[in-house]
Amino acid sequence: MEFPFGVKLRTNSPALAFVALGFVPLIYPIWNLTTGYVRVEQELRSNDYPVTVYVGVGTELSYRDGKVVVLIPLIQNPDYKPQLIYRGSSVVDKVDVDLTHQKHGLVVLDPEDLQNMRRARTPRSSDVSPPPERFKERNTE
C-alpha cells in the first residue's frame, strides 16, 4: 500500500496495528488497578513493652506510650473486617477497625489502655488442687 508523502506499508501492517491496539483494553485495567489505603491512628498506653500491633498486612512495634499509625488496605468486600491485634509479653488484646468512620483516608480509634488488662500468669502450687487418693503413690515397704 502506498500513501501520500511516500509512505509505504506492507499488506500485513494494518493487521499488526489492530493487534497492538487490541492490547490497550487488556493492559489499561492492570495499569489502572491500584489499592487504596486508609491510615489508622490510635493512642496506646501500656505497662508491658514492647507492644506489637499486628495488622493483616503488616506489623508496627511500639516501645512507649503514644500514637500508633498503621496503613490498612481498602478492599471492596462485605466480608472484609480488619482488626488490630496487640501483643505484649503477657498481654493480648484486639480492636475492630470500622472503615465506615474514615474521613479523607483516616480512621482515628479510641485510645487503647493495655495497663489495666489481666496479665497471663503461671499457676502457683497453691492454685493446683492435689490429686485424688487413688493417684497417689503407695509405699510398699
- On the question of pLDDT at 115 being above 80, the answer is no
**pLDDT higher for 50 or 12?**
50
How confident is the model over 41-68, as a mean pLDDT?
A: 81
Which residue type sits at 49?
Answer: Y
- On the question of pLDDT at 5 being above 80, the answer is no
- In sequence order, what E strands does 63-127 have? 66-73, 83-87, 92-96, 106-108, 112-113
At 134 the pLDDT is: 65
| Interval 74-113: pLDDT, tens | 887 777 788 888 887 776 788 888 888 888 889 998 888 8
Domain ranges of the chain: 2-32, 37-115
Q: Does pTM surpass 0.85?
A: no
* Contact predicate 120/59, CB 8 Å: no
Q: Which of 101, 91, 107, 95 is nearest to 37 (CA)?
A: 107
- On the question of pLDDT at 24 being above 70, the answer is yes
CATH no. of 37-115? 2.60.40
At 49 the pLDDT is: 79
At 119 the pLDDT is: 52
The Cα 1–Cα 13 span in angstroms is 10
